[in-house]
Structure 1
Amino acid sequence: MLNRVVITGLGALTPLGLNVKAFWQNIVDGKSGAARITKFDPSLFRTQFACELKDFNVAIHLDRAEIKRTDPFTQYALIATDEAIKDSGFDLSTMDPFDVGVIWGTGQGGMETFEQQVTEYALGDGHPRFSPFFVPKFLTNMASGMISIRNGFMGVNYTPISACATSNTAIMEAFNHIRLGHAKIIVSGGSEAPITPASFGGFSSMKAMSARNDDPQGASRPFDVNRDGFVMAEGAGALILEEYEHAVKRGAKIYAEITGAAMTADAYHMTATHPEGIGATRAMQKALKESGINVADVDYMNMHATSTHVGDLSETKAISALGSSAELNMKISATKSMTGHLLGAAGAVEAIISILSIQNSIIPPTINTETLDPEIPSDLKIVLKESINHKVKVAMSNTFGFGGHNATVVFRGV
Structure 2
Amino acid sequence: MKNLANAFLGGKEGAIGLAILAVLILLVMPMFLDIFRLNLMGKYLTFAFVAIGLVLCWGHGGILSLGQGIFFGIGGYCMAMFLKLEASDMQSTAAQTTPGIPDFMDWNQITSLPMLWEPFHSFGFTLFAIIIIPILLAFIIGFAMFTRRVGDVYFSIIMQAIVAILTILIIGQQGFTGGINGITDLKTLHGWDIRTDEAKYVLYYINALLLIAVIMISRFVLSSKLGRLLSAMRDKEERVRFSGYDVAMYKVFIFCFAAVVSSIGGAMFTLQVGFMSPTIIGIVPSIEMVILAAVGGRLSLIGAVYGAVLVNLGKTYFSEAFPELWLFLLGGLFIFVVMFLPDGLAGVYQKYVRPLFLKKKVADKPTPPPANDPEDIPEPVVEGGVK
Same fold by TM-score, threshold 0.5 exceeded? no
Select the structure of larger CA radius of gyration.
2
Q: Whose RCO is larger (CA < 8 A, sep 6+)?
A: 2
TM range (shorter): under 0.3
TM-score of the pair, normalised by structure 2: 0.28
Larger strand proportion, structure 1 or 2?
1
Larger helix proportion, structure 1 or 2?
2
